[in-house]
Amino acid sequence: MSTAAARITHLVGGSPWEGASERTGDVYNPATGAVTGHVDLASAGLVNEVVAAAAAAWPVWANTSLAKRTQVLFAFRQLLDERKHEIAALITAEHGKVLDDALGEVSRGLEVAEFACGIPHLLKGGFSENASTNVDVFSIRQPLGVVGVISPFNFPAMVPLWFIPVAIACGNAVILKPSEKDPSAAVAVARLWTEAGLPDGIMNVVHGDKEAVDALLTNPEVKAVSFVGSTPIARYVYETGTANGKRVQALGGAKNHMLVLPDADLDLAADAAVNAGFGSAGERCMAISALVAVDGIADELVSKITDRMRKLRTGDGTRGCDMGPLVTAAHRDKVSGYVEAGAAEGATVVVDGRDGEFDGGSDGFWLGPTLLDNVTPGMSVYRDEIFGPVLSVVRVPSYEEGVRLINANPYGNGTAIFTNDGGAARRFQHEVEVGMVGVNVPIPVPVSYYSFGGWKNSLFGDTHAHGTEGVHFFTRGKVVTSRWLDPSHGGLNLGFPRND
Ligand code: NAD
């Protein structure tokens, strides 16, 4: 264990918090197993103080012109681009994903910052001249106030960036509660806002666990909460936040299926299954975890996937490997447990990641890419979100059975179809009950100007992240009906105007 573990603390009013924390959590380098940091875990009292300070700072930012807000956003975008390598290194050090993947995550966040630079256009309202005689009607969108963002461990920079640039561009103050497992990247990103010229108190970070989350969910000054994480917590956050009068969007877990039809290019499908199954060690909400092969091609597809898996190098994310470790020892053990349960329930273990060789520390949280065949819907390895490098092959007799399986699944985040038949692809995109669909693309990655979000147990609330839905989430609409007339044109009329 390292003796030089750093203190990771809150960012309040643009500066590191200087208080003493009653509780801290350990942060690891998953490739070595060493504790590299101790993160302060906020009490409810501290969260409430930070919310009060943000609420006091907010009116100045809400009344800052769009021209000035846009300058801050452009400056932030520039700083994020300049520091992306530093931020990627922090992600790899605490999450474990390989550097290249970490850089890709920052790039997706950068795109949301670029989208938010267009805020003057995005906030334009409608105007109707002469809606009634000499009466004009127009709409405006105004910020909410203090908003909370609660993010998961698997995208420590990208997920906060799905929300923060849009929330700030819309004129809100933000309290970010990042995952306590890998908190440093979020702090590094948040600090850039001060450098970009954002007034103190508008961007704050509080670290913590359930106590901090509950404080955000119950504080009346917090007007909206954007959450991303596992389904049980997403449901809890949605129910608690809305019961406390807040606007909530809560994105949950996933079980993403990739349906491969007999006419698909099987080399392309095998590449895609390996990339989407094992990229980021399967710790992506859009990872493919269930490969649905229409029988007849399943043996050949499994063989092609197996060949590719044998070439993957798992190890320390700074060493040019394909795949890194899992985030914690407890998570690695949980995922290994699913492999064991799958074998016990009758799945065929084609490639066993528990036997892998790893280019990293002997105490790292390792599990190699794992392939299970002949998985059936009753098995726990199929039912549960595993969130690790385990790909399950489910064999189905037909396209119809494949779609039935996907639609019966309680999750609905992402899915993909591999086929050379345009008609089949078109039918799939229409019939499948999932929020994000890939056609010969295994992971439909977030595109900043389209909103990102799943269906069913993968999202609670009805607003997806970023894009125009994000702008709507972080603002409320107002309609103004105005008449500028000579006062002599008044008169009493207690009814609604009639059109006849
Ligand atoms: P998690 O639910 O454990 O934690 C998410 C956040 O909630 C963290 O900030 C955590 O501190 C907080 N939290 C944890 N337990 C809590 C509790 N009991 N009460 C209140 N708050 C609590 O999720 P995770 O393990 O960090 O992230 C992985 C999960 O996130 C996976 O299920 C993955 O599918 C999901 N995810 C979904 C999307 C999406 O777009 N739908 C994107 C990324 C990740």
**pLDDT tens digits, one per residue of 140-190:** 999 999 999 999 999 999 999 999 999 999 999 999 999 999 999 999 999
Q: CB-based burial of residue 400 (10 Å sphere; 0-12 exposed, 13-18 middle, 19+ buried)?
A: exposed
**pLDDT tens digits, one per residue of 177-234:** 999 999 999 999 999 999 999 999 999 999 999 999 999 999 999 999 999 999 999 9
**With a 6 A CB cut-off, is 474 part of the ligand 1 pocket?**
no
* Residue from 220, 254, 219, 218 nearest 234 by CA: 254
Residue type (1 letter), 349? V
- Is residue 96 within 8 A of residue 85, CB to CB? The reply is no
- Following DSSP, what letter does each residue of 82-96 receive, concatenated? HTHHHHHHHHHHHH-
**Pairwise CA distance, residues 148 & 167, whole Å:** 10
Neighbours of 408 (CB within 10 A): 9
- Is residue 176 within 8 A of residue 190, CB to CB? The reply is yes
Coil, strand, or helix at residue 25?
strand
**With a 6 A CB cut-off, is 213 part of the ligand 1 pocket?**
yes
Which percentage of the chain shows pLDDT scores above 90? 94
**Pairwise CA distance, residues 205 & 68, whole Å:** 23
**Considering only the top CATH level, what class is 256-448?**
alpha beta
The atom number, within ligand 1, closest to the CA of 152 reads 26
- 303: phi then psi, degrees, rounded to nearest 5: -65, -40
- Which one of 23, 151, 176, 179 would you pick to mutate in the ligand 1 pocket, going by the greatest count of ligand atoms within 8 A of its CB? 179
Please report, for residues 102, 280, 352, 365, 450, the alpha-carbon distance to residue 98 in angstroms, rounded to integers and kept in the order given: 6, 7, 21, 14, 27
**With a 6 A CB cut-off, is 387 part of the ligand 1 pocket?**
yes
**With a 6 A CB cut-off, is 454 part of the ligand 1 pocket?**
yes
**pLDDT tens digits, one per residue of 418-476:** 999 999 999 999 999 999 999 999 988 899 999 999 999 999 999 999 999 999 999 99
Please report, for residues 98, 229, 284, 381, the alpha-carbon distance to residue 188 in angstroms, rounded to integers and kept in the order given: 19, 21, 22, 37
**Pairwise CA distance, residues 356 & 303, whole Å:** 19
**Pairwise CA distance, residues 461 & 228, whole Å:** 12
Q: What is the ipTM score, two decimals?
A: 0.99
**Pairwise CA distance, residues 364 & 387, whole Å:** 18
Domain-by-domain residue ranges, the chain?
A: 6-251, 256-448
Determine which one of 117, 170, 285, 321 is catalytic: 285
The atom number, within ligand 1, closest to the CA of 178 reads 9
Cα(359) to ligand 1 centroid in Å equals 28
Nearest CA to ligand 1 atom 19: 210
Sorting pLDDT into bands at 50, 70 and 90, what band is 283? Answer: very high
Residue 113 has what pLDDT? 98
Chain Cα centroid distance, residue 366: 24
What is the pairing mode between strands 411-412 and 390-396? unpaired
**With a 6 A CB cut-off, is 8 part of the ligand 1 pocket?**
no
Sorting pLDDT into bands at 50, 70 and 90, what band is 2? Answer: very low
**pLDDT tens digits, one per residue of 247-281:** 999 999 999 999 999 999 999 999 999 999 999 99
* Torsion 362-283-183-93 (CA) sign: positive
Tokens for 192, please give them: 């850039």
Sorting pLDDT into bands at 50, 70 and 90, what band is 295? Answer: confident
- Which one of 95, 153, 450 would you pick to mutate in the ligand 1 pocket, going by the greatest count of ligand atoms within 8 A of its CB? 153
**With a 6 A CB cut-off, is 179 part of the ligand 1 pocket?**
yes
**With a 6 A CB cut-off, is 32 part of the ligand 1 pocket?**
no
- Which one of 94, 95, 207, 209 would you pick to mutate in the ligand 1 pocket, going by the greatest count of ligand atoms within 8 A of its CB? 209
Cα(429) to ligand 1 centroid in Å equals 28
**Pairwise CA distance, residues 444 & 433, whole Å:** 15
For the chain, give the mean pLDDT: 97
**Pairwise CA distance, residues 106 & 79, whole Å:** 12
pLDDT above 80 (res 490): no
Cα(253) to ligand 1 centroid in Å equals 8
**Pairwise CA distance, residues 334 & 386, whole Å:** 8
Does residue 285 have an active-site annotation? yes
**With a 6 A CB cut-off, is 240 part of the ligand 1 pocket?**
no
Cα(179) to ligand 1 centroid in Å equals 8
**Pairwise CA distance, residues 394 & 291, whole Å:** 6
The atom number, within ligand 1, closest to the CA of 252 reads 41
The atom number, within ligand 1, closest to the CA of 454 reads 41
pLDDT above 50 (res 1): no
**With a 6 A CB cut-off, is 272 part of the ligand 1 pocket?**
no
Tokens for 68, please give them: 């000035």
**With a 6 A CB cut-off, is 177 part of the ligand 1 pocket?**
yes
**pLDDT tens digits, one per residue of 87-145:** 999 999 999 999 999 999 999 999 999 999 999 999 999 999 999 988 999 999 999 99
List, as own/partner pairs, every contact residues 400-406 make where C-beta atoms lie below 8 angstroms and the sequence separation is at least 24, other chains included.
402/257, 402/259, 402/292, 402/294, 403/259, 403/428, 403/431, 403/432, 405/257, 405/292, 405/377, 406/257, 406/259, 406/292, 406/432, 406/433, 406/434
- 478: phi then psi, degrees, rounded to nearest 5: -140, 140
**With a 6 A CB cut-off, is 432 part of the ligand 1 pocket?**
no
Kindly calculate the radius of gyration of the chain based on its CA atoms and give it in whole angstroms. Answer: 25
Average the pLDDT over each of 63-77, 327-341, 440-454, 465-479 and give the range with the smallest value. Answer: 440-454
Sorting pLDDT into bands at 50, 70 and 90, what band is 485? Answer: confident
Q: Which fold has domain 6-251?
A: Aldehyde Dehydrogenase; Chain A, domain 1 (3.40.605)
